[in-house]
Amino acid sequence: MVRGMVDRMDVSLVVVAYDMARELPRTLRSLSREIQLGVDDIRYEIIVVDNGSPDPVVPAVDGSWRVLRMPTPSVSPAPAVNLGIASSRGHLIGVFVDGARLASPGLVRASWIAASSMPRPVIGTAALHLGPDLQSRSIGNGYDQGAEDDLLRGIGWEDDGYRLFDVAVFAASSQQGWFGPLAESNALFLNRDMWQELGGYDERFRLPGGGLVNPDAWARACALARADVGVLVGEGTFHQFHGGVSTNAPISPWPVFHAEYRQIRGRDYEVPVIEPAYLGTLGPNALSLLQRSGLATSPP
């Protein structure tokens, strides 16, 4: 609930975290005003929803993020997402369902500009994995938290966050990059009215990690009446290795996830077919990633 003009924000960023003492500080750093570019004229807040971490997340001393604690933690992030949305003060609300994902440095500004140009914005971007391959595969070749720490130290990502593209690959949900079908966005931005219209994340998804709750939210948002779907090119979120339920699982949990989806929706899951507006700029690091991936650099 917005409590008054003095409390209003342009953008709220809702970040859900569980037991991410290593990863979350980097995620929050990537979303900070020191790293995000062109945000001097944007009022934004960061809300961390701690979903029952053994070592509770601590609020920022300088107020750069605040922490909400789930009264009844769940293995699914859906209730935590909805608590964060309900507690936010922004006109535009971006959800990071996984607090282990670093943001590219233009994400906040690009989302705000895109949403400001659309009556009914649904804004997303590509998901990527840090490391030489999808983490479910690179784990078998010795990729772990230590290797990732060395990788991030080696590129100096805090000096230039776009260097993250140099050490990442597109996630399976974004396997064709920005210009292919996106199965989900791990930074999903809707305005407040549209989040209410969507009903937030569906709390019937109760599997660890939420199963297909995030792809479901993206598909439902894209299907809202008169939705203005925008995909931010040249931006992205970068998954840090943390033993995630799906991203770091050597055996795919897809059959279990899909069974729950079918039980809830009564049909098979399908990647939404959309014709989005492509917004943003492909900088040299992002363009290099497309070339290394053998992908086209323009929409089909």
The half-sphere exposure of 133 on its side-chain side, counting CA atoms within 13 A, is 10
* CB neighbourhood size of 231 (10 A): 25
- In this prediction, residue 7 carries a pLDDT of 79
pTM of the model: 0.94
Separation CA 103–CA 100 (nearest Å) = 10
- In this prediction, residue 244 carries a pLDDT of 57
- In this prediction, residue 243 carries a pLDDT of 74
The answer to whether the CB of 122 falls within 8 A of the CB of 230 is yes
- In this prediction, residue 3 carries a pLDDT of 44
The domains located in the chain, with CATH, are 5-293 (3.90.550.10)
- In this prediction, residue 229 carries a pLDDT of 98
Averages of pLDDT over runs of 10 residues in the chain (300 residues) are: 62 98 98 98 98 97 96 97 98 97 98 97 98 92 95 98 98 95 97 98 97 98 98 98 66 92 98 96 95 63
Separation CA 226–CA 162 (nearest Å) = 33
Nearest Cα neighbor of 85 from 17, 16, 18, 14 is: 14
* CB neighbourhood size of 182 (10 A): 27
- In this prediction, residue 195 carries a pLDDT of 98
- In this prediction, residue 293 carries a pLDDT of 85
The answer to whether the CB of 100 falls within 8 A of the CB of 27 is yes
Q: How far is CA 64 from CA 31, 46, 61, 83, 131, in A?
A: 10, 7, 8, 19, 29
